[in-house]
Amino acid sequence: MNQLDPQPVLYLDNAATSWPKPPEVIDAMRRYLTEVGANPGRSGHRRSVEAARVVFGAREAVARLLGVDDPLRVVFCANGTHALNLALRGLLRPGHHVVTTGMEHNSVMRPLRALEAQGVEVSVVPCTSQGVLDPADVERALRPHTALVVMTHASNVVGTIMPVSEVASLAHAHDVLLLVDGAQSAGALPVSLDDLGADLFAFTGHKALLGPTGTGGLIVGERVDLARFEPLVRGGTGSRSESQVQPDFLPDKFESGTLNVVGLAGLAAGIEWILERGVAAVRRDEAELTSRLITGLAETPGVCVYGTGDVERQLSTVSFTLAGMEPGEVGRHLDDEYGIAARVGLHCSPLAHETMGTYPGGTVRFSLGAFTTEADVECALRAVRALAEAAGRR
């Protein structure tokens, strides 16, 4: 209980931001602020050197978790949206063609629509109402001037896991790069970039990686031509300070300005927490709880659950609607009467809701996390059942 919560909060909004964070995350951030505090790479004194070690430690942690051989290919950004914009705006030019899917977040669609207005052609491949993509549809959408395929790894609305490796094989056969939005999957699914086949992988630190907000990045694969990849921002990098021209090597080409070092200290600690337990173990525990949640919701009269309904094919993100109540009304009752934090509406993914048939009203979304318990799931189900009974009496 705290000043924000009149009762103990049941937090089921981990797809937006994970909470709580492991104590190690807070300890690492406190240590940086109290014992280090300096700017990495800008000075030669011991505190600056230690700050640089913090940054490189975070780079190494991301590389270990995601199966990246060279940590210098991990470019840090403010968040996953920043990383996606870096890739899209840095690689696409007027006359290029890009293929995406019907389940994308606005962090993909908004920059694509802006680029479309500047002469980039955009094709959106439809998915089923469960969010399932047929890779053959992506291949049929490719054209001679296709430069990029961009797709989510897992839906932030219904958790559906996309066939990324299959799409990667098809894209590479046509000499097309693949950019993957891993905002939901990094830390939630066992991921190896080699197995996945992504040329670029955007991630955020504040969701399943259990780090703080203001952290994230872009992994740049070896098939990407750095000479044709423009940075979003140019400026001081702490390297090649004698030159007025931006460095041309990783990660400095894309990391101008002082990084969020205190955030990266927390991110590294969050990733270490995951690595100690194993992503597969965290995934297994969450899948068991997700199965119970889906079953309980589906058995509740008046509740419609969206997505595949198969925990092997989705993350621990579950969207539903309740007959007789708008999603916003359900969310208010959950928060005010039961202390349950959920996300309602369109989840910054209007295209996904159009695909699902839930636009413009949206859905109620429960998203479990590493600290969700069986008791939490049962409490959420009791609350939804109570609301369903009340709606049925109206």
Residue 21 carries which side chain, given as an amino acid letter?
Answer: K
Q: Cβ distance 153 to 189 under 8 Å?
A: yes
Token pair for residue 63?
């590389």
- Collapsing DSSP to helix, strand or coil, 313 comes out as coil
Residue 370: partners with Cβ closer than 8 Å, 6 or more residues away: 14, 18, 208, 210, 274, 282, 285, 286
User: Residue 321 to residues 264, 297, 377: CA-CA distances in angstroms?
Assistant: 37, 10, 17
* Strand arrangement, sheet containing 303-305: 303-305, 317-322, 363-367, 343-345
129: number of CA atoms within 13 Å, CB side?
Answer: 6
Nearest alpha-carbon partner for 98 in 84, 81, 83, 82: 84
Q: Per-residue DSSP letters for 37-69?
A: ---TTS--SHHHHHHHHHHHHHHHHHHHHHT-S
The single residue listed with the structure tokens 């990686």 is 209
* All residues at 6 or more sequence positions from 387 whose CB lies less than 8 Å from its CB, including other chains: 322, 325, 330, 333, 334
Spatial CB neighbours of 94, under 8 Å, sequence gap ≥ 6: 118, 119, 120
Radius of gyration of the chain (CA): 21
Query: Which residues participate in catalysis according to the annotation?
Result: 348
Query: For the chain, how far is it from start to end, CA to CA, in angstroms?
Result: 33
Structure tokens, 44: 């030669």
Hey, how many other C-beta atoms are within 10 angstroms of the C-beta on 137? 15
